[in-house]
Amino acid sequence: MMIFNIFGIAIIALIIWWFWLYKPNQTLANNNEVLIEVKDGVYSPSAIQVNASQPITLKFLRKDQSPCSETLLIPTLDISEQLKLNDVTQIHLSDIPQGEHVFHCQMQMYRGVLKVV
């Protein structure tokens, strides 16, 4: 029983670390544009870092048929876009305020972050 309990507690610790504490590597936007694939429930890449002075084009390529993936929201920038299936939807951003701008679908199951430094 002890083994089960230790195993269970270890799983809980792993969940907390993996989903909440771990900070994933961020993709640096080099060419003023980033292609983000929307597929299988995730944005790839989901963590993007840009400089505040740098204008950037986020190119969302939606390959997921699920209706959840259709809407892209960046609430802090007041952006709401419908992503067309199997097509690239471009969002040009300039003068973005510093900080983290979370982008997600309507239900927040797809989540990503644009970090402006």
Partner 1 sequence: MTEFNADVFSQKSCCCQSTKKSSECEKKENTMSAAVTEQQLVIEGAGCASCVGKIEAALKQTPGVQSAEMNFADRTVLVSGTTDTQSLVKAVESVGYNAKPLEDNPYTDAVDEKEAADWVYYKKLMRDTFIALLLGVPLMIYSIVVGEMTVETNTERLSWLVVGLLTLGVMFFSGRHFYIGAWKSFKNHSANMDTLIALGTGTAWLYSMLVVFIPDAVPLMARHVYFEATAMIIGLIDLGLALELKARGKTSEAIKRLIGLQAKTATIIRDNKEVQIAIDQVLLNDVIKVRPGEKIPVDGVVIEGHTSIDESMLTGEPMPVEKTLEDEVVAGTLNKSGMILFKVTRVGKDTALAQIISMVKRAQNSKPPIGRLADVISAYFVPVVMIVSVLSALAWLNFGPEPALAFAIVSATTVLIIACPCALGLATPMSVMVGVGKAAEAGVLIRNGEALQTASKITAMILDKTGTITEGTPKVTDIILANASDENTVLQLAASLESGSEHPLAMAIVESALEQDIELLKIEAFNAITGMGVEASCDGKALLFGNSKLMAKKQVDLGKYTDKAQALAKEAKTPMYFAVDGQLAAIIAVADPIKSDSISAIKRLQANGIRVIMLTGDNKETAAAVANKAGISEFFAEVLPEDKANKVQELQEQGEIVGMTGDGINDAPALALADVGFAIGTGTDVAIESADITLMRGSLHGLADAIAVSKATLRNIKQNLFGAFVYNVAGIPFAAGVLYPFFGLLLSPVIAGAAMAFSSLTVVSNANRLRLFKAQDH
Which residues of the chain form contacts with partner 1 (CB under 8 A)? Answer: 1, 4-5, 8, 11-12, 15-16, 18-20, 22, 24, 39-44, 46, 65-68, 70-71, 73, 75, 77-82, 84-85, 89-97, 106-111
Considering the complex, state which of residue 61 and residue 68 has its C-beta at the smaller distance from partner 1: 68
Query: Minimum CB separation from partner 1 for residue 61, in Å?
Result: 14
Query: Minimum CB separation from partner 1 for residue 55, in Å?
Result: 10
Evaluated on CA atoms 47, 53, 54, 57, the torsion sign reads positive
Query: Minimum CB separation from partner 1 for residue 85, in Å?
Result: 5
Considering the complex, state which of residue 21 and residue 31 has its C-beta at the smaller distance from partner 1: 21
Q: Catalogue the long-range contacts made by 40-47 (C-beta closer than 8 Å, 24 or more residues apart).
A: 40/64, 41/66, 41/69, 41/109, 41/110, 42/110, 43/103, 43/110, 43/111, 43/112, 45/112, 46/111, 46/112, 46/113, 47/112, 47/113, 47/115
Query: Minimum CB separation from partner 1 for residue 32, in Å?
Result: 13
Torsion of CA 101, 82, 64, 33, to 10 degrees: -50
